[in-house]
């Protein structure tokens, strides 16, 4: 904005004819450092108006103040239910994970154990993988036992026939 | 009797107190320090809250007193600095800052000297950026009266600025 425009705006300001937006332009212009010498006498008013508009405290004021003021009761209030339960939830999650891991490890070990048992006793793979991978470990074990005793019987029979 | 809560009843006064301090010191950082000091002092007196007639009036008085004390200290320093300034030209910055504050105070005094209605209208328009309609409604007058009063207020402030300029010019 050039000096002539500002002078025109200024005249309308004194006469009470400017809009809110034009008044903002004036405050903006006079807060800058390119105010012509002959208009400097009016600068203070617009600087003052702008200064008075910033009449509230910064956002971080509360935080800084409350740090200096000991407020145990209010501090406790600010903790939400969620964050208060967080440690318990964490502990529960840890326990659940341990249980899950334990279960998985048990199944994996049992599976190896069954296959090993079968291989050691018989010397050959006799169980189908589906038996060892069965959901119910106990019924799997039973099936292994059954198939073992069946094999043993067959061997005994074969031996008695040979005799 | 209702229990007074620092967070709900006292802390929300901060912007009001800030404006009080700002109108005395004309320095944002100083005004902020004053509000902080006020609120800490009020907190330390929490045993007495219930015996006070109005906690708000108490806070405002405390802020005013702190701000006036500070300004008196600053005024004393200004004199010192002005004397120093005559001798050394190196450190011009604090001097300029103080001069800026003086200028804001001068304009504030000009506004303060306006008749009540004119001052209110000029404040609402030029600081709070309210429309003529809003001002008319708030003060229960016509928009035409708002315009006339605003015109008179601005003319008076303009005369004041010209007086200051005429006073300063010979010394420049």
ipTM, interface predicted TM-score of the complex: 0.80
Question: Looking at the predicted structure, is the pLDDT value of residue B48 above 50?
Answer: yes
**Of the listed ranges A51-65, A95-109, A141-155, the one predicted with least confidence:** A141-155
Cα-based distances in Å from A44 to B102, B107, B115: 10, 7, 21
Structure confidence at residue B95 as a pLDDT band (50, 70, 90): low
B59 near A CB under 8 A:
no
What CA–CA distance (Å, rounded) separates B159 from B113?
A: 12
How far apart CA A30 and CA A27 sit, in angstroms, is 5
Both structure tokens of A145: 């036992």
pLDDT for A37-75, tens place per residue? 899 999 999 999 999 998 888 888 988 898 888 665 444
Residue B73 is encoded by which pair of tokens? 């200290």
What's chain A's average pLDDT? 79
Q: Is A117 on the interface with B (CB under 8 A)?
A: no
Q: DSSP assignment, residue B92?
A: -
Nearest CA in chain A to B36: A65
Cα distance from B98 to chain A (closest Cα, Å)? 14
> Greater confidence, B33 or A118?
B33
Q: Which residue of B has its CA nearest to A56?
A: B15
Q: Does B147 reach chain A within 8 Å, measured CB to CB? A: yes
Helical ranges in B26-92 per DSSP H: 28-44, 55-87
- What value does the mean pLDDT take over residues B98-110? 87
CA separation for the pair B95, B126 (Å, rounded): 28
Long-range contacts of the stretch A61-69 (C-beta < 8 A, 24+): A61/B14, A61/B32, A61/B35, A61/B36, A62/B11, A62/B14, A64/B36, A65/B11, A65/B36, A65/B39, A65/B40, A68/B36, A68/B40, A69/B6, A69/B39, A69/B40, A69/B43
Phi, psi of A52 (to 5 degrees): -70, -20
How many Cβ atoms from other residues are within 10 Å of residue A25's Cβ? 16
Q: Which of A44, A51, A55 sits opposite B161 (nearest CB)?
A: A44
Residues with Cβ < 8 Å from B5, sequence gap 6 or more? Answer: A74
Average pLDDT of span B142-154: 97
Confidence of residue A90 (pLDDT cuts 50, 70, 90): confident
Q: Is B159 helix (H, G, I), strand (E, B) or coil?
A: helix
- What is the rounded (10 degree) CA torsion for B63, B65, B66, B68? 120
| Predicted structure pTM score | 0.62
What's the rounded Cα separation, in Å, for the pair A13 and B150? 10
Query: Of B1, B154, B48, B37, which Cα lies nearest the Cα of A46?
Result: B154
**Number of Cβ pairs < 8 A linking chain A and chain B:** 83
Q: What is the largest CA-CA distance in chain A?
A: 134
| CA–CA distance, B29 with B62 (Å, rounded to integer) | 18
d(CA A74, CA A93): 30
CA–CA distance, A5 with B7 (Å, rounded to integer): 49
Who's near B162: CB < 8 A, 6+ residues apart?
A41
pLDDT over threshold 60, residue B119: yes
């Amino acid at each position: 904005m050039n000096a002539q425009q500002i002078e025109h705006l200024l005249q309308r300001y004194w006469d009470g004819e400017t809009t809110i937006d034009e008044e903002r332009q004036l405050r903006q212009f006079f807060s800058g450092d390119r105010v012509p010498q002959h208009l400097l006498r009016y600068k203070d008013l617009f600087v003052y108006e702008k200064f008075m508009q910033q009449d509230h405290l910064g956002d971080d004021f509360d935080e800084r103040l409350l740090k200096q003021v000991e407020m145990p009761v209010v501090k406790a209030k600010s903790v939400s239910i969620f964050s208060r339960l967080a440690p318990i939830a964490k502990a529960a999650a840890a326990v659940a994970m341990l249980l899950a891991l334990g279960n998985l490890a048990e199944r994996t070990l049992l599976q190896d154990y069954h296959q090993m048992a079968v291989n050691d006793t018989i010397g050959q793979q006799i169980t189908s993988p589906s038996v060892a991978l069965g959901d119910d470990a106990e019924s799997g074990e039973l099936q292994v036992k059954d198939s073992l005793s069946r094999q043993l019987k067959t061997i005994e029979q074969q031996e008695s026939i040979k005799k | 009797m209702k229990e007074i809560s620092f967070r709900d009843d006292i802390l929300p006064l901060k912007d009001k107190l800030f404006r009080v301090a700002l109108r005395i010191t004309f320095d944002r950082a100083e005004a902020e320090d004053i509000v902080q000091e006020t609120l800490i002092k009020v907190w330390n007196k929490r045993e007495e809250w219930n015996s006070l007639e109005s906690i708000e009036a108490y806070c405002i008085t405390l802020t005013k007193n702190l701000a006036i004390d500070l300004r008196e200290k600053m005024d004393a320093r200004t004199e010192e600095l002005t004397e120093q300034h005559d001798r050394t030209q190196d450190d011009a910055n604090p001097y300029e800052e103080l001069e800026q504050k003086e200028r804001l105070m001068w304009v504030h005094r000009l506004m303060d000297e306006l008749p009540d209605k004119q001052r209110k209208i000029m404040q609402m328009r030029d600081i709070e950026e309210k429309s003529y309609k809003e001002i008319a409604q708030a003060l229960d007058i016509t928009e035409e009266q708002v315009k006339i009063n605003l015109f008179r207020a601005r003319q008076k402030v303009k005369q004041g600025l010209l007086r200051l300029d005429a006073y300063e010019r010979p010394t420049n």
